[in-house]
Chain A
């Protein structure tokens, strides 16, 4: 893992030199959001427990600072940085390390510092004698295309997600509570190596949206929605699935086919060189043609997909106002999830990698309407 992080440290150093900058302070709030880049992970390979930072100077000297202090040993074994420091006081240690590397605030840039709490930021700024210029896009851009090792980890994560979904099909039955099903899926995927999982899973006879599992008891006729999002070696992936307990009504099959058509339209449109807006419009076009154009907005859906943390969240949300151009090797989830009045909210989505001739699903088997026999 550290090879790619070293390459990114080198690329960041070159950026500092090219822009005549003294240093970079890249911070993480420790939340490891599946939607966001984690600058500390991108540069060090360490998934931090608490608030943390990488400090880099224009000579390429790099220091990882982690909290809690006791996590230093784990972090130092993984980190691509020259040095790892554990601390119970992140602001103080950032200021000390910056001083040691000869970095002041005037010609220093920051990434992710704006995600830290206000009081922490105030102490860093006070200690440095001023605020570094925010350059929050830098790390996203450095890591916007997955490296070979990262793509391999994403494929493994997708394999775990698909096994998790197979487990849902085996395990779910009427009379079971949602939280029990979610617990089984979560632990099953953790057993397979998933270090984290943004798992939403809920059921209703007529869903308005997907949500986290609750106390509801599964019943015949329920439509189970699952957004299965395991993380493996820092690579989140996501698959979205719709499962019916008992034989689905014909209208549900008909409307789910609409989502599958939208997915195919998105895959075909998602080639390198086109904008995200183009892909979004291709997906929305299927719903508009079917008479559901008014529902192509919240609260009837959220987005048509999104980038995936914790490496780089490029290309961002798959929405019609995003003009970012897709590049080969970008990875994101494409999900034409949609509320339709006749069926309720339905889900269909895969993690895809952008190629010259379209977006390619990482799944062995793309979403279909599955049935739990009763």
Chain B
């Protein structure tokens, strides 16, 4: 779910070498190199910004706290990382990546052009690119000027699909850890709301709990109108009548987990139906299941009610280094769930008679039943 982007990401972003050692990135690069060789790409440019950086983080572990970063991967070694920060800030940036050669992107000609010069060839040199759709035109102009006639850029987004839908074992381990944080945060969210009756007080307590567990980023939304819509922070710590509906997402060591939160004194019809449909979606989430099938389970199960408008017509998406990996689960999305993939499933209702509810789960797809990595907590004594 989309949330207000913070002006800077606050938490600890150092490269956790015990959890993601250098060999993890070598393994990732080995796979990438195979694809590069197949396409004849001598180098790879992987771009990301503060908003969307999953591919960049997958390759380099670097996450731009603000502005942008770009990993310059050379098939023969000599990788370089450019970040849009002052030279004053480079020592801190170097703690976030295994790539040793880190430079300020503000000195483009001094840092990008020399990296290009190492490709010696009389023929045109082809470089793959990932994430250039996100690049602002002014930077793209600088890039094109540097590339000139001697190099050719080839879009590699589709060939590489970074980060991969199938999560690596260490990634699953990281996502599990993030799920523990979001569970703790969601419980604090509900507890804070129950104590105060104020949704934003609950959200702030959830955020505080996550940040105390070293979450790097925390995003929240709350409803101030009994669940009909959700809004970002308003600074309104007053009591609001009606149930609690909210959303919390946390990032821990680069990996996201999120949760929809619903709580009330007693379960509504909306909450019961949402829970039941979520059960059906989880049971159907197998390798090869099409995203449209899960959408169909949700929408048919809810009839005559409609999906909560906050879901934007989607009942799920991939999650990991990004909150939104791959396509959204819509009625016309025929992409299949990947074996080893991790997905957030979500369902909910906003109806004057049935009530309002939003429920979610994060599942790891494997043969047989999926592993439920986390699930929205019960929001009332009779809500199971």
Contacts and interface: CB of A to CB of B under 8 A. Distances in A.
Whether A associates with B in a native complex is yes
B250 to A, nearest CB: 12
A121 interface: yes
A50 B2 contact: yes
Interface residues of B, number: 49
A33 B7 CA distance: 5
B234 to A, nearest CB: 8
Given A68-B312, A183-B212, A215 B14 contact: yes
Interface in A64-95: 67-71, 73-74, 88
A199 interface: yes
Nearest to B135: A118
A255 B136 CA distance: 41
Nearest to B92: A211
A264 B2 CA distance: 44
A213 B95 CA distance: 12
B86 A299 contact: yes
B211 interface: yes
Interface stretch (B24-32, B225-233, B292-300, B358-366): B225-233
Contacts of A198: 7-8
A43 to B, nearest CB: 19
Interface in B294-341: 309-310, 312
B86 A302 contact: yes
Interface stretch (A138-146, A184-192, A277-285, A353-361): A184-192
A50 B135 CA distance: 16
A25 B224 CA distance: 32
Given A49-B232, A302-B86, A209 B5 contact: no
A88 B312 contact: yes
A171 to B, nearest CB: 12
A184 B207 CA distance: 10
A309 B7 CA distance: 10
A187 B204 contact: yes
Contacts of A186: 10, 211
Given A68-B312, A199-B10, A214 B133 contact: no
Given A183-B212, A214-B95, A49 B2 contact: yes
Contact of A212 (B13, B91, B211, B232): B13
Contacts of B233: 190, 195
Nearest to B95: A214
Contacts of B95: 214
Interface string B63-85: 00110000000000000000000
A32 B7 contact: yes
Contacts of B312: 68-70, 88
Given A49-B2, A70-B229, A117 B135 contact: yes
A317 B294 CA distance: 52
Interface stretch (A5-13, A174-182, A246-254): A174-182
A68 B2 contact: yes
Given A299-B88, A299-B90, A215 B214 contact: yes
A88 B8 CA distance: 25
A30 interface: yes
Contacts of B11: 179, 182-183, 212-213
A190 B8 contact: no
Given A121-B137, A183-B208, A298-B86, A30 B229 contact: no
B330 to A, nearest CB: 11
Chain A interface helix/strand/loop/mixed: loop
B12 A213 contact: yes
A214 B12 contact: yes
B86 A212 contact: no
Nearest to B90: A299
A327 to B, nearest CB: 25
Nearest to B139: A118
Contacts of B132: 118
Most buried by B among A32, A117, A187, A200: A117
A277 B51 CA distance: 34
B89 interface: yes
A116 interface: yes
Contacts of A199: 8, 10
A180 B212 contact: yes
Nearest to A193: B235
A99 interface: no
Contacts of B9: 212
Contacts of B3: 49
Contacts of A300: 88
A67 B51 CA distance: 14
Contacts of A328: none
Nearest to B225: A73
B87 interface: yes
Interface in A192-250: 193, 195-200, 208-209, 211-215, 229, 231, 236
Given A117-B135, A118-B134, A196-B7, 9 more contacts: A49-B4, A67-B2, A68-B2, A114-B137, A191-B204, A197-B10, A208-B91, A209-B89, A309-B7
Interface of A: 29-34, 47, 49-50, 67-71, 73-74, 88, 114-119, 121, 177-180, 182-184, 186-187, 190-191, 193, 195-200, 208-209, 211-215, 229, 231, 236, 298-302, 309
